[in-house]
């Protein structure tokens, strides 16, 4: 239950060979971080899970089901089970925060407007944004919009959540709150998470396992300890944030 597997994934855009044989397995309930430089292909990789991109080669499994060749429509139910918080939070500017979060509830659960609003408020509460429920996205900066996008992603009680840089651009207190939320989902609800992040505090705070993408492949897949103790100079350069080193930029 709740596992994710990428098997030998290749993906190119023209001459840009982004993924060159990625193998990755995430166990049920795990918090799995994917790290790597800008442009390494982190967002591209996770988009394969919900059919936003299709691999040139390789297979993708969700909870043991091979989803590689599903038709667009067959991905609809998958997208309810596997929520994605996109890197650039995609809120509707003309709707209040409450309406944004209530949208998937209204669409998929067929509940009354009042009930949808109540549930939306409960989700907003979890990210500390309930008091702003009647305001519009334009009133807020990236960090707070991101929190609302997280609240919206969690409305349908997904089994899997993909967080694409959830703490980037957020203040440290809010970032810690988001980390706590991800941990709570894993510990208490058995949610399987993939978190894409550059945030060392998050990575070495809550990751069960980490994988680093470099030049189209995973150069290391292991625990926090295995990353800290790795003698791969590229891994060390990245996790220590060193400007000089072997990594090609
Ligand atoms: N739909 C697309 N069409 C063409 N090229 C794409 C597309 N999506 C991504 N790419 C390219 O694939 C490469 C990897 O992009 P990706 O967004 O996965 O990087 P990333 O690791 O998420 O980086 P960042 O940390 O900056 O978000 C980039 O060179 C990008 O330009
Ligand atoms: Mg990205």
pLDDT at 169: 82
- On whether residue 229 sits in a domain, the answer given is no
Whether residue 18 has its Cβ less than 6 Å from ligand 1: yes
pLDDT at 110: 87
* Beta strands at 31-35 and 217-222: parallel, antiparallel or unpaired: unpaired
- On whether residue 249 sits in a domain, the answer given is no
Q: Judge whether residue 87 has pLDDT over 90.
A: no
- On whether residue 232 sits in a domain, the answer given is no
Residues pairing with 59 in the sheet: 7
- Ligand 1 closest atom vs CA 213: 21
Q: Judge whether residue 1 has pLDDT over 90.
A: no
From 42, 146, 163, give the residue whose CB has the most ligand 1 atoms within 8 Å, as the site to mutate. 42
Q: Judge whether residue 89 has pLDDT over 80.
A: no
Residue nearest to atom 17 of ligand 1 (CA): 43
Q: Judge whether residue 249 has pLDDT over 80.
A: no
- Ligand 1 centroid vs 43 CA: distance in angstroms? 6
Helix (H) or strand (E) holding 106: helix 97-109
- On whether residue 230 sits in a domain, the answer given is no
- Ligand 2 centroid vs 41 CA: distance in angstroms? 7
Whole-angstrom Cα distance, residue 146 to residue 87? 8
Is residue 79 within 8 A of residue 50, CB to CB? The reply is: yes
User: Helices 172-189 and 142-153, interaxial angle, to 10°?
Assistant: 10
From 10, 19, 39, give the residue whose CB has the most ligand 1 atoms within 8 Å, as the site to mutate. 39
**pTM, whole model, 2 decimals?**
0.93
- Kindly report which listed range (55-59, 70-74, 86-90, 238-242) carries the lowest average pLDDT score: 86-90
Whether residue 39 has its Cβ less than 6 Å from ligand 1: yes
pLDDT at 248: 82
Whether residue 42 has its Cβ less than 6 Å from ligand 1: yes
Task: Report pLDDT digits (tens) over 136-168.
Answer: 999 998 888 999 999 999 999 999 999 999 998
Whether residue 47 has its Cβ less than 6 Å from ligand 1: no
- On whether residue 119 sits in a domain, the answer given is yes
- Ligand 1 closest atom vs CA 16: 29
Q: What is the CATH number of the domain that holds 51?
A: 3.40.50.300
Is residue 129 within 8 A of residue 141, CB to CB? The reply is: no
State the pLDDT confidence band at 5, using cuts at 50, 70 and 90.
very high
Segment 122-131 mean pLDDT? 94
Look-up of token digits 């709740």: 2
Q: Which residues contact 200 (CB under 8 A, 6 or more apart)?
A: 239, 241
Ligand nearest to the CA of 11: 1
pLDDT at 230: 97
Residue nearest to atom 5 of ligand 1 (CA): 13
Is residue 222 within 8 A of residue 230, CB to CB? The reply is: yes
Domain count, the chain: 1
Task: Report pLDDT digits (tens) over 163-203.
Answer: 999 998 888 988 998 999 999 999 999 999 999 999 999 99
Is residue 84 within 8 A of residue 165, CB to CB? The reply is: no
Domain that holds residue 217: 4-221
Is residue 8 within 8 A of residue 64, CB to CB? The reply is: no
Whole-angstrom Cα distance, residue 216 to residue 24? 13
């Amino acid at each position: 239950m709740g596992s994710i597997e990428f098997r030998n994934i290749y993906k190119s855009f023209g001459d840009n060979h982004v993924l060159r044989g990625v193998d990755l397995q995430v166990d049920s309930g795990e918090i799995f971080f994917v790290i790597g430089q800008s442009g390494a292909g982190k967002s591209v990789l996770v988009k394969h899970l919900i059919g936003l991109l299709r691999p040139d080669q390789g297979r993708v499994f969700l909870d043991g089901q091979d989803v590689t060749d599903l038709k667009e429509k067959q991905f609809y139910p998958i997208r309810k089970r596997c929520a994605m918080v996109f890197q650039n939070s995609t809120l509707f500017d003309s709707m209040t925060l409450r309406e944004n979060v209530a949208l998937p509830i209204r669409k998929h659960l067929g509940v009354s407007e009042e009930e949808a609003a109540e549930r939306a408020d409960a989700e907003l509460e979890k990210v500390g944004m309930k008091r702003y429920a009647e305001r519009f996205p334009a009133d807020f900066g990236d960090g707070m919009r991101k929190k609302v996008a997280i609240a919206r992603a969690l409305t349908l009680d997904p089994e899997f959540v993909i967080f694409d840089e959830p703490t980037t651009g957020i203040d440290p207190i809010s970032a810690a709150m988001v980390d706590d939320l991800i941990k709570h989902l894993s510990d208490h609800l058995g949610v399987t998470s993939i978190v894409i992040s550059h945030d060392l505090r998050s990575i070495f705070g809550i990751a069960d396992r980490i994988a680093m993408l470099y030049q189209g492949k995973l150069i290391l897949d292991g625990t926090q300890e295995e990353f800290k103790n790795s003698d791969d100079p590229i891994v060390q350069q990245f996790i220590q944030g060193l400007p000089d080193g072997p990594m090609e930029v």
